[in-house]
Chains A and B, each alone.
Chain A
Amino acid sequence: MNQRILEKLNAYSADSILESSEFRGDLTVVVRKDDIVKVCRFLRDDQDLTFDLIVDLCGVDMYRPEGRFEVVYNLYSLKNKSYVRLKVRVDEDNPTVETVCFVWPGANWHERETFDMFGISFKGHPDLRRMYMPEEYEHFPLRKDYPLMGIPDAIPLPRK
């Protein structure tokens, strides 16, 4: 199945695929940032592949100079009972990715969470507000340079 997915992706748009790897039967494909919506739409609409469910979308802080962040898309096909994992590398100075919540509406809140925790903004997202932290909060807690105990007095407590 993984072989078929790769072949189809390469036939569709070989330029968009930067690299791919397989670990214990799970296929991971690194996609060029600008083509992510195109690739996602193809994986969903293809009659054979039909990746109709977005299981999870999350961010990763690799804490490296080039392509510091990664956005990971875990897709599932109900028909084929198979998974595929897409990755997009995002630079620190312009952490922006095109939204996929028009491909799978379920990605809406996942993208909001990723924005809240990593500060990666999703272009075209209809409602990119913070998910967990207070709206006026200025930091992104899951970034590697954020201290575990937070920044003192960043969230005010009520007066005693």
Chain B
Amino acid sequence: MGLGTLMADGFLTTRLDEVINWARKNSLWPMPMGISCCAIEMMATASPRFDISRFGSEVMRFTPRQCDVMIVAGTVTYKMAPVVRKIYDQMPDPKWVISMGACASSGGMFRSYSVVQGIDQFMPVDVYVAGCPPRPENLLRALLELQGQVAKQQSIGNLLRGEKIIIPESGPAERVNTLT
């Protein structure tokens, strides 16, 4: 059957959100924030054996300006936290975060003065991945989970409703509705 009968008249009707989210979720470009051993598993995920490109996320960019999803893979120390946050702030909207592994999610085995006990203390997280380190399959599963979340988001609706992103002189960006 396929699209042949659907597009018999040369067009197809759908919701704009549907199309935009479909495009977004199938090409999530990761920002590889590899800061510990989890990064090795993240690299393995990109390798031919596990092949993250099956899900459209093979383009790991080392500049935050070109990324959609930040994969925080590793132990985040207090000294590193402002750096991670700054890179996150430099990513263009819309953006998502995967917290990969026990350390990034909760501090892991490093229950100590130097390690942040979970990156959600200073940045939003969409998907947490368990494991120390997680297997590549686990990360792929998290990516699929995130794709599911992206598919349900209101993308164009926010723009039509007049939502605007305000960047104050200090501190992170805020979403403000300009119509209300």
Chain A interface (Cβ within 8 Å of chain B)? 132-134, 141, 146-151, 155, 157-160
Assembly CA distance A155 to B122 (angstroms): 13
Secondary structure at chain A's binding surface: helix, strand, loop or mixed?
Answer: loop
Given contacts A134-B79, A158-B81, is CB(A148)–CB(B111) below 8 Å?
Answer: yes
Taking a contact as CB atoms under 8 Å apart, the answer to whether B123 and A158 are in contact is yes
**Cβ of A126 to closest chain B Cβ, rounded Å:** 24
Taking a contact as CB atoms under 8 Å apart, the answer to whether B122 and A159 are in contact is yes
Which of B111, B114, B122, B124 makes the CB contact (< 8 A) with A158? B122
Residue of chain B at shortest CB distance from A159: B171
Assembly CA distance A147 to B111 (angstroms): 12
8 Å CB contacts to A: which residues of B79-136?
79, 81-82, 85-86, 111-114, 116, 121-124
Closest 9 pairs between A and B when the two form their complex, measured CB to CB? A150-B113, A158-B85, A155-B78, A157-B122, A158-B122, A159-B171, A158-B82, A157-B81, A141-B113
Assembly CA distance A157 to B81 (angstroms): 7
6 example contacts (A-B, Cβ-Cβ < 8 A) are as follows A149-B111, A149-B112, A155-B78, A157-B78, A157-B121, A157-B122
Contact flags B66-80 to A (C-beta < 8 A → 1, else 0): 000000000000110
**Cβ of B56 to closest chain A Cβ, rounded Å:** 30
**Cβ of B152 to closest chain A Cβ, rounded Å:** 23
Q: Which residues of B contact A155 (CB under 8 A)?
A: 78-79
Assembly CA distance A132 to B114 (angstroms): 9
Assembly CA distance A14 to B172 (angstroms): 64
Assembly CA distance A160 to B111 (angstroms): 21
Q: Which residues of B contact A149 (CB under 8 A)?
A: 111-113
Residue of chain B at shortest CB distance from A155: B78
**Cβ of A90 to closest chain B Cβ, rounded Å:** 23
**Cβ of B82 to closest chain A Cβ, rounded Å:** 5
Given contacts A157-B78, A157-B81, A158-B82, is CB(A148)–CB(B113) below 8 Å?
Answer: yes
Assembly CA distance A56 to B40 (angstroms): 30
Q: Name the residue in B78, B79, B113, B122 with the highest tally of chain A Cβ atoms < 10 Å from its Cβ.
A: B113
**Cβ of A136 to closest chain B Cβ, rounded Å:** 11
Q: Which residues of A contact B85 (CB under 8 A)?
A: 158
Residue of chain A at shortest CB distance from B78: A155
Q: Which residues of A contact B172 (CB under 8 A)?
A: 158-160
**Cβ of B81 to closest chain A Cβ, rounded Å:** 5
Q: Name the residue in A132, A148, A157 with the highest tally of chain B Cβ atoms < 10 Å from its Cβ.
A: A157
Assembly CA distance A147 to B112 (angstroms): 9
Taking a contact as CB atoms under 8 Å apart, the answer to whether A157 and B116 are in contact is yes
Which of A132, A147, A151, A160 makes the CB contact (< 8 A) with B123? A160
